Chain A
Amino acid sequence: MQISRIGWKTVQFSLAIIFIFLSWWVLALLLDTPAFPPPLPAFASFFHSLQGDLLLHLRISLYRVLASLILAATLAIPAGLFLGKNPRLDQYIAPVIYLTYPIPKVVFLPVLLILLGIGDLSKVVLIALIVFYQILVTTRDASRNLQTEYILSIKSLGANSKELYQHVYLPGCLPAILTSLRLGLGTAMAVLFLTETYATSTGIGYFIMYSWSSLAYDKMFAGIIAMGLMGFFLYILIDGCERYFCSWLNP
């Protein structure tokens, strides 16, 4: 039963991969342009570029996106749990969040560049700022909607505030938190690309745009593949966390 389930998963994923590569190949044939090479040459160029400076850019981009996700999560998760647990305080904070949430924070990029310089800090802060809101709102709502019987039953065992967070709020909100991280990852990658196309000479975003402007389409596509694979592996990482920490969801 267990083995056949894993076997079935493998078949499904193999089929999906074949489908993606086939569509890519057909599209490349139809478009017939050096800007959109078929899978084989594209991957050949990717592995070739890895031996050059692509790996360096990849490392820098990975650092930027991980740093911002960690920064956003460490600030947003405790704040969200706290606001959800204390509705009286949330009453005053909620309108502030509501009014600032829809503002597209990317427009602050120039301001951050002036304030924090053109180094990594301004990029990390911008990505973190955007992802922070997503995690904060999701965590707060999950924390606010936790069933009261869980809270009461632990209180009746004599739990203090710290134990309530440890045993009820954090584990109870973790599925929602991981979902928001997954969504946040997509946003983070998009904003990362944007920040790396201005005033910098490092990162995959830069690598892609530089290759484009110098008409090195094979290198450009190698960068696109690198960016895609990075997003994919981070996604798997979050998925793994969910499987490990929320095993109770699918016992």
Chain B
Amino acid sequence: MTYLDIQSLQVDFLQQNKSHNVLNDVNLQLPQGKIGVIIGPSGCGKSTLLNVLANLNQEYRGRVSINGQLPLEHIGTALILQDYGLLPWKNVWNNIQLGLEIRKIAKEETKTRIEAILKKMGIADLKKRYPAQLSGGQKQRVAIARSLVLEPELLLMDEPFSSLDALNREEMQDILMQIWQETNLTILLITHSIEEAVFLGQKIFVMSACPGTIIKTFDNQIAGDYSSRGKVEFLDMCNTLRSYLRKES
């Protein structure tokens, strides 16, 4: 069985006492250690899908299994929210520490782990700052650090780089690829950017407008290949994706 296996997932929300179908018959498979990217029109239910995987929404129908477990049972999942979700009243260090505290990791180990991740993300100088004192890119790094410090198996990211400028965005994409190569992480990422999908996604899932469903899955050979940015295959892949998305909106 595939590591991440979603079958006939359906989610409905109550809106003004009317049931509103947001996800309909979503099927998605992602093998362990791969990077999957979901792309689709705004409001089609992408965040809703990640919330189900992160066990923030238990009211769904269908089958969702992560490494053979229900989202509720799988503790190795980390989620990075669309707007980072950093707590403004905790400084960078304490924000990163929070998950370790909740999982009751010993003090010594907490300290070494945080110091290592701060260094890796290049934010060691910022550890005493509060989120309000950080730029968008720095907040993003802290949010990633807060998830990675838990040493997750599955990393869910909701439009992680959408609010960054082009240079910062490429740098963060490179950092993410680097982390992925060093660990055995499975990543499922949402994006609005076609280029980002093609650069990061070994599997690309195209979603339809609301009610969202997966209309097409691509296996993308050139993912993670720095030299491919700007080459013909890269642009071809982008164009194929673009035409699918056009049909949807």
Cα distance A152–B84 in the bound complex, in angstroms: 10
Instruction: Decide yes or no whether A243 CB sits under 8 A from chain B.
Output: no
Cβ–Cβ contact B133 & A251, under 8 A: yes
Cα distance A248–B84 in the bound complex, in angstroms: 18
Cβ–Cβ contact B133 & A152, under 8 A: no
Partner-contacting stretch, out of B96-104, B117-125, B183-191: B96-104
The residue on A at minimum CB distance from B54 is: A156
B interface SS class: loop
The 8 Å CB contact of A251, one of B83, B103, B129, is B129
Known: A152-B56, A155-B56, A158-B75. A168 touches B102 (CB 8 A): no
The 8 Å CB contact of B89, one of A153, A158, A171, is A171
Cβ–Cβ contact B130 & A152, under 8 A: no
In the bound complex, residues from chain A placing their C-beta under 8 Å from that of B77 are 156
Cβ–Cβ contact A154 & B98, under 8 A: yes
Interface size class of A (residues with CB under 8 A): 10 to 19
The 8 Å CB contact of B81, one of A149, A168, A246, is A149
Cβ–Cβ contact A167 & B85, under 8 A: no
Instruction: Decide yes or no whether B150 CB sits under 8 A from chain A.
Output: yes
Instruction: Decide yes or no whether B148 CB sits under 8 A from chain A.
Output: no
The 8 Å CB contact of B85, one of A152, A163, A174, A248, is A152
Q: Which residues of B approach A to under 8 Å, CB–CB?
A: 51, 54-56, 75, 77-79, 81-91, 98-99, 102-103, 129-130, 132-133, 146, 150
What 6 A-B pairs come out closest when comparing CB atoms?
A153-B85, A157-B99, A156-B79, A171-B89, A248-B89, A149-B85
Q: Which residues of A approach B to under 8 Å, CB–CB?
A: 149-150, 152-159, 163, 167-168, 171-172, 174, 246, 248, 251
Further 18 A-B residue pairs, CB within 8 A, beyond A152-B81, A153-B84, A158-B103? A149-B81, A149-B85, A152-B56, A152-B85, A153-B81, A154-B85, A157-B102, A157-B150, A158-B75, A158-B99, A158-B102, A167-B90, A171-B89, A171-B90, A174-B89, A248-B88, A248-B132, A251-B132
